[in-house]
Amino acid sequence: MSDVDTKIVSLKIEAPEALVKQTEEFTKQIITILPGIHCAIGYGLANSMLIEGDDGNIIIDTLESCEAAIELHKDFQAISSKPVVAIIYTHNHADHVFGTEVLAGDNLSNVKIYSHATTRTILDVTGLIQRITFQRAARQFGMYLTEAHGIVNDGIGLHLKFDKNNRRSLLYPTDTFDTDSLNLTIAGRNLVLYHAPGETDDQIVVYMPKEKVLFAADNIYKAFPNIYAIRGTSTRDAIQWVSSLDLMRNLRAEYLVPSHTKPISGAEYIYETITIYRDAIQFVHDQTVRFMNQGFTPDDIIGKKFIQLPKHLKEHPYLQEFYGTVDWSIRAIFDRYIGWYSSKESDLNPDAPIIRAQNLIRLGGGSKKVFESAQTAYSEEKYQWCLELTEALNLHPEDLNKSEVIQLQVLALQKLASFQTSANGRNWYLTKSLEIQGLIEIKPSPNQVSQTIMNAPLKSLFMFLSINLNYQKANEVNQLFLFHFQDTNAKFSIHIRNGIADVKYQWPENFQSSSIDVIVEVTREEIWKQVIARIKSPIEAVSDEEIILKDGSGEINQELIVPFLMFLTMFTSD
């Protein structure tokens, strides 16, 4: 192991020159597109746009956190101190909506928030998987990486400025539309909002017909599109994305302002660039489906290099794989149409990872010989094979020194990172190399968890309870709890029924009092949120008469505190 040990100390994590050069796209600046129309780049992962109106300003997208938005708010105010009268969310992604409270400034209580009608629903549902998406996003965007760790950029922006120390401020949309388009006049500016599903289903682009300025959202940026994001998303509908790009190019805009990377100008250049972009998406989609129909799996298609972008696409500056990749897109498109099963019989009911690791190590002659094979693979620059072997050894090290296995795995991850043009892949490898050494632990801070709960709609919190039910504790339970919130008159029911929590956003009709275990009266929604967030104990809330427990007949019964507490213990995020 001595040769490898030496390399651990001296290894420099190189990066492709093209990825390093992509950083130039994100130089912090505010570009004036036309008088009164500005694009801020480099303040966060995404761009934020300011449109000056007659008696107020309009902002398109608000960055990823309060901290990211503070400097931008100051610089926007230096350009125009008029109140922000409208904010437009182009879509639901975190880097476009979580600095709103700061950028709204002094007009926070009066600002109108525009979005597509589905944006709020998506924001609420996204909270269901916040814990895992936070972890995976941290890996994709390198949120815990520093320059010393080898981070270069995030492919479509410099860095996502959100980690366990940052705060999010989301204002929900006040004005939405569910038609193909919406015509608006705000502060004397004429705007058309087009529903243009692409990178997200709720994506909208904003067009200023008089000025011929198109705000393109995330439907085009100077990098190969993310038809699937490794942080964890459903696969984007490639054909729907192509259709939206057709809508956009046919507007014949003279200025194109994406929500990532720099704006471009010139009607013909913009038309040609959007055409190239949509053609690349269609090409990968069509050819993937073509080979799927011939019975090939993604491993076959990628391994045999069946799909390679034509030269005019491969060399185009807007299609370099700094973000998404062709290979990941192939896998995603296959999964969207066919689902998880490859059609290979051994994939139908595979062994657990530990069993596969044990079998591999046994086949390789034991852990020591497999470890030697992993060292050889590393020396022969077969870094992917080295990684696979060390992953198996981590699961089943037998009598090996596990720290040596981890050291070799770290080297393999760093080497694989050094070859990645995609910032997403590079950041994932490098972040994982820190995690397996125990140098970082990725999870939201307690304050962030509490903030999420306190800002969540009440319906979302009851939905969260359902997915946090510990079914082992509830396996033989049959209980009905009714909730009433006195400040809003909102009513909910939760029926714990043999391992599931059946949540309804109303009380059941024609119920018998004998079927109800506890009626929970809560004076204010905020109190319930504090209990869920563990800011206030349920015993304290009951003692202060902020939560009142009643039996099925509606009579107050303090003895119900015991079943109420037992009810709460059935829900855990662990």
The Cα–Cα gap between 73 and 75 comes to: 5
pLDDT at 446: 87
Give per-residue pLDDT as tens, 85-130: 999 999 999 999 999 999 999 998 999 999 999 999 898 877 778 8
The Cα–Cα gap between 17 and 400 comes to: 38
Residue % of the chain over a pLDDT of 90: 89
Q: Which domains does the chain have, with CATH numbers?
A: 17-337 (3.60.15.30), 353-419 (no CATH), 456-570 (3.30.1050.10)
pLDDT at 140: 97
pLDDT at 251: 98
pLDDT at 169: 85
571: DSSP letter: B
pLDDT at 128: 76
Q: Return the amino acid letter for 294.
A: Q
Q: Is the pTM of this model over 0.85?
A: yes
Contact 568, 537 (CB under 8 A): no
Residue 11 has pLDDT above 80, yes or no: no
Residue 59 has pLDDT above 60, yes or no: yes
* Chain centroid, CA 140 distance in Å: 9
Give per-residue pLDDT as tens, 235-270: 999 999 999 999 999 999 999 999 999 999 999 999
pLDDT at 372: 98
Which of 258 and 11 is assigned the larger pLDDT? 258
Contact 263, 305 (CB under 8 A): no
Residue 534 has pLDDT above 70, yes or no: yes
pLDDT at 10: 41
Mean of per-residue pLDDT scores for the chain: 94
| DSSP per-residue string spanning 55-97 | SSEEEE---SSHHHHHHHHHHHHHH--S-EEEEE-SSS-HHHH
Residue 294 has pLDDT above 80, yes or no: yes
Q: Which helix (H) or strand (E) covers residue 214, if one does?
A: strand 213-217
Which residues neighbour 487 within 8 Å (Cβ) at sequence distance 6 or greater? 523, 524, 525
